[in-house]
A and B are shown apart, each in its own frame.
Chain A
Amino acid sequence: MFSPEINHSNNPLIQVINLNKSYSLQDANGKTITTQVLFNINLTINQGEFVAIMGHSGSGKSTLMNILGCLDIPTNGSYWLAGKNVATLSSNALAKIRNQHIGFVFQGFNLLKRMTALDNVATPLLYAGISRAQSRKRALELLRRTGLENFAMHQPNQLSGGQQQRVAISRALINQPPLILADEPTGNLDSQTSNEIMLLFQQLNREQGITIVLVTHEDDIAAYAGRLIRLKDGRIIVDKNNTN
């Protein structure tokens, strides 16, 4: 099991070795066209790191993110998450990893509609087999920490973008995962709110040692991270520590 305590040791949480990803599509003539999106990715992320992945659209950063999040599987190569080769796991096992070990934050928030903020935050626990009463208690606690306790019974469409993203972050945190994957989390937010959200990520990283991997194409957002990885045409072209 992972521990959410501060741990800046050099345990690799994520280790990607020679990973390739290609998609096969059939064209109008029924001919199979294969498009390779990721080429020989090698990547190691330690526990407690805050990493920003940058790149233009089409650079493969979202695909990499999906694979890191166990939402998609690599075509070949291996992906070790906390010492486990995820590439070989069944879809049920992947679902369990997504539930227990990874928290997702999306650009479009991806909250469940017509469901209160509280229930949205509590839903992952439902799939973990925890009772509704217990789930709600923990969800309320998280909403309190992200300053949304007064909005617990609001539905997503009654909340501002920043509030919705904070609900999404609360949801990502509810199972106390060691890893948070954020796919352009500030893409739909104004700069003021973006800064608030990024500070929240920074705080989670520094105070709770949660590893954060962030996809963005904005330099000032990437500046919050401690490490910068730049992708171009499916290859890593830059991997450096952020100096700020």
Chain B
Amino acid sequence: MNLLAIFGEALRALRQNRLRTGLTMLGMIIGVAAVVLMLSIGQGARTKINETIAAMGSNLFIVVPGATSSGGFSFGSGSVRTLTINDAYTIAELPSIKTTAPVVTGTAQLSYAAKNWSTIVTGTTANYFDVSNWKMEAGTTFTESDVRSAARVVVLGSVTAKNLLGDEDPIGKTIRITNRPFLVVGVLMAKGQSLTGRDQDDTVVIPITTSERQITGNQFPGSIRYMLVQGTSATEMDIAEIEIIQLLRQRHRIAKGKENDFTVRNLTAVADVATDAAKVMSIVLGAIASVSLLVGGIGIMNIMLVSVTERTREIGIRMAIGANQRAILTQFLLEAMMICIMGGLIGLLLGIGGAWLVSQFADMLIVITLGMVALAFLFASAVGIFFGFYPARKAASLKPVDALRYE
């Protein structure tokens, strides 16, 4: 017996019953297409979230002033200006802390030539870009000495740069912020939306000193809107948090038992939650899709069993003219596997096509990896072998006399 010839027989049997073969294959096609589509959507969501998290910077805390209460009324976070630039500088001295970036914000009107644009002005220190992992598209960031001297220099967010200067090269141009001239030294790389959906690229960044004195003004000099704090390592985030809280309580002279007048949030923890959510979503999507693959597999077993019964006489004839059990087993197993593999291939193409359509019309990020394709394919073959084996063995174990006599 040679395998190639048996393969030919199996192929012939499938071709003889095209409608049945096609319908059986449909189960496989839908199953594999669903798996590929769902995996690619899940993977896309994860990739998107990971990108956002990476853009946020690593080992980050955000410390916001606030939640104070007065006469029984609670005010929300940031309602009082208890955090100062000096708090930020002192926290930076802690051993578990790499660096800090104090931030003041305000809204201001920008203009360049005939165009003008209103946006958020972020006043901060020079290490803000490093802490928030924000790379430069062009030019440079401002420096510590710019901060010390309250220089009128500005780094533009990519959206702001486009809105204000169009296609012009912004570096070296002078724009006006609330009518004061600022020299553009750099343009930030696009960062996209934050986890909360805000467009992070519509902003301008200037030295915190300049902002305080010349743009936003400040009723409480030295106070800040929030600060970014970067820990030295991911493993020491818990220690860092305790140290920050202790230091601030001490500096703010908060008595034992009283509540903090600031809040420390671990952004890594927030990111972890988002990552976990995406992971769960991928698993759920994959599991749902796998069910349809399983149903397809059961369909194949069903049809193969019917086919074995229907072709009992044929099996008997083949045995009488010299087919041994292995030849019969191989033929039926090959038939099931061919249905699965061909269905798998078609399903794969449909799944990829479907993923492409989703990415086009639903504006979702779709990621198809080679591993995913291999997985779907492997899964399809495994289903073929698994669900094809029982009917094939049933066919092979028929007794020649009984099979020949079968009407």
Contact = CB atoms under 8 A, between A and B. Distances in A.
Interface of A: 66, 69, 71-72, 91-92, 95-96, 98-100, 104, 106, 110-115, 123-124, 126-129, 131-132, 171, 175
Contacts of B399: 72
A95 B9 contact: no
Interface residues of B, number: 26
Given A66-B401, A115-B12, A129-B1, A95 B317 contact: no
Contacts of B60: none
Interface stretch (B74-82, B253-261, B319-327): B319-327
B247 interface: no
B326 A104 contact: no
A113 B5 CA distance: 18
Given A95-B325, A96-B324, A100-B322, A126 B401 contact: no
Interface of B: 1-2, 5-6, 8-9, 12, 16, 313-314, 316-327, 399-401, 404
Given A72-B401, A126-B1, A95 B314 contact: no
Given A92-B324, A129-B2, A71 B317 contact: no
B317 A72 contact: no
A98 B319 contact: yes
Given A71-B400, A72-B401, A92 B321 contact: no
Contacts of A113: 314
B318 A110 contact: no
A1 to B, nearest CB: 16
Contacts of B322: 95-96, 98-100, 124, 127-128, 175
Given A71-B401, A99-B322, A110 B1 contact: no
Nearest to B17: A114
B324 A127 contact: yes
A112 B324 contact: no
25 contacts: A71-B319, A71-B404, A72-B401, A91-B324, A91-B325, A95-B325, A95-B327, A98-B319, A98-B321, A98-B400, A99-B321, A99-B322, A100-B322, A110-B313, A110-B316, A112-B318, A126-B2, A126-B5, A126-B9, A127-B323, A127-B324, A129-B2, A131-B5, A171-B321, A175-B322
